[in-house]
A and B are shown apart, each in its own frame.
Chain A
Amino acid sequence: MSEEEVQFFQEDGTRMDGREKSEVRETTMEVGVLDEADGSAMVETGNTRVVASVFGPQELHPKHLQESDRAVIKMRYNMAPFSVDDRMRPGPNRRAKEIGLVAKRALEPAIRLEKFPTAGIDISMEVIESDGGTRVTGINAAALALADAGIPMKGLVSACASGVVDGEVVNDVNGLEDKKGNADVPIAVINGGDEITLLQMDGDLTKQQVDDCISMAKKGCESLYEQQRQTLIETYESIRQ
């Protein structure tokens, strides 16, 4: 296979989609998009679009999954067949299971599970359109859906993925930068603060770049957290009118 040169930066130093290195893609959030679910939300970051829904707390079946002192989360991450440029084979695969697990671990520390012993909370993240950063977008949507469902939480979880392309640290990698770049580092934090609940790293990068990636992604989380708050307040304010 011939190595194709991929260009990540324009001549003026901005990225191919016109963003600065530390800039997050334009994000829109919507709460309460589904009627049947207890809580739901849709988050759109650039061309990535994820709908999350929450059911519960409710009775958990099968019974052997129940925990006598806390609620159990069942997490589902699924990509629609039409979410990528070539049709994706539907159904759970290794990747979906893994992302479901890490997303669950990212949200768990924020939820007051001990308030609902033996119960179960079903969270599902459906990727409608994918252009990099689906897991972080999914986590952002799931956090909103959980708040919408009235589940007690320590705070909102927000997530952002930074990465390294062409030896440069950039924030909120898109599909191309994710695939062809050197590395990506998705992180999730509670309340846009210092408590990190998800930290993954994939690719080649130096120690210094790891630190830079984390601090840059944290900044992204902060701004996303603020947007999550605003979205929730605005939605409920309009319901109250």
Chain B
Amino acid sequence: MTRVKEENELVTPGDVVFEGEDIHPHSGVYEEDSKIISEFMGTVEYSGSSVRVVPMSGRYIPSEGDIVIGEVSSVSFSNWRVDIDSPYEAMMKIDVAVDEYIDLDEDDLSDYFDVGDAIVTEVTNVTEGFDVNTGMEDRRCRKLTGGRIVKIAPSKVPRVIGRKGTMVRQIKEKTDTTIIVGQNGLVWIKGENENLATKAVKKVEREAHIDGLTDKMAEWLENEVEN
């Protein structure tokens, strides 16, 4: 019934995080002989009656409802394939991708999305065997033009977004850019001061574990903008 590892402590795979049965394992941990053991190189997070380990690195694994940034990798007769920077490629069908009527004999699907286009898309369905479907029905979904895409670790995405979006909002305001953070760790940045915004996002990724990072970042951005 004791915490072996404290909140925010680093653990390696196989490290015992908690001894006892009065807490249940969330993600990144497994139970063995009434011990909770880490599966990842990561940090420990307790919340209420559960414990989890947040990995420091790793690929994005799609889950339903995620808004991700992807690149159209191929166009076929009636659907698109989207590379979402994950072990599994996603498929996007016409009915959830385009609003208007498409006559498959007449129209060319690459007029809507072509190979190489960057899109913001929603993961609509993931099967047990990891067949992934995405769609463009959510209002946040769209095609991206211009700007740049930066890659961060998918496990650091919540920190970059911040509580209720505070972190990303302040970066947007201070650098006068538009930023979209995909759950898969791809971040689209476009606007006045893209370089600074990129630097800021990378800084948040690196310092994700620090308490009160939002205030610290506010200060840092203030300084950078002045220079």
Interface residues of A (CB under 8 A from B): 38-39, 56-59, 68, 110, 112, 115-119, 147-156, 190-191, 228-229, 232-233, 236-237, 239-240
Contacts and interface: CB of A to CB of B under 8 A. Distances in A.
B129 A118 contact: yes
B37 interface: yes
Given A119-B88, A236-B41, A148 B59 contact: no
Nearest to B58: A150
Given A59-B88, A112-B39, A147-B40, 5 more contacts: A38-B58, A57-B87, A118-B129, A148-B41, A151-B58
A228 B12 CA distance: 9
Interface in B33-78: 37, 39-42, 55-59, 61
Contact of B59 (A57, A68, A228): A57
Nearest to B55: A150
Given A148-B41, A232-B41, A153 B14 contact: yes
Contacts, number: 86
A119 B66 CA distance: 20
Contacts of B59: 38, 56-58, 150
B148 to A, nearest CB: 20
A141 to B, nearest CB: 15
Nearest to A146: B13
Contact of A236 (B13, B56, B88, B153): B56
Contacts of A58: 59, 87
A39 B206 CA distance: 17
Nearest to B210: A240
Given A38-B57, A57-B59, A68-B129, A156 B12 contact: yes
Contact of A118 (B30, B130, B207): B130
Contacts of A156: 12-14
B58 A149 contact: yes
B10 interface: yes
5 contacts: A38-B59, A58-B59, A147-B13, A154-B13, A154-B39
B14 A190 contact: yes
Chain A CB within 10 Å, residue with most, of B12, B15, B57, B88: B12
A237 B129 CA distance: 36
Nearest to B13: A153
Nearest to B206: A239
B191 interface: no
Contacts of B39: 112, 152-154
Contact of A155 (B14, B57, B209): B14
Interface in B6-21: 10, 12-15
A197 B153 CA distance: 31
B28 interface: yes
Contacts of B114: none
